[in-house]
Amino acid sequence: MITAYSDLFRIVLSASVLMLAIEYLWTGHMLTAWVYVAISAGFGLFLLFQRRPFVEDDPDGD
């Protein structure tokens, strides 16, 4: 699971950097680009720290 979380973090970080570059080239305003990066990073952190209940496999039903 740690690997999946670190892969997700790398994807979010890469997408944030790419979005920062695209927004800066599109608008010419660095502040607007940082707002979009902050939103995407916040969503990525929400996904990263979201806890799912652990269900143990118990075929016998004990």
pLDDT at 5: 65
pLDDT at 34: 77
pLDDT at 40: 75
Domain ranges of the chain: 2-48
CA distance 49 to 9: 11
pLDDT at 35: 78
Per-residue pLDDT of the chain (62 residues; tens, 9 = 90+): 456 667 777 777 787 778 778 877 877 777 777 777 778 777 777 777 776 555 556 566 55
pLDDT at 37: 74
Q: Cα angle at 49 between 59 and 4, to 5 degrees?
A: 65
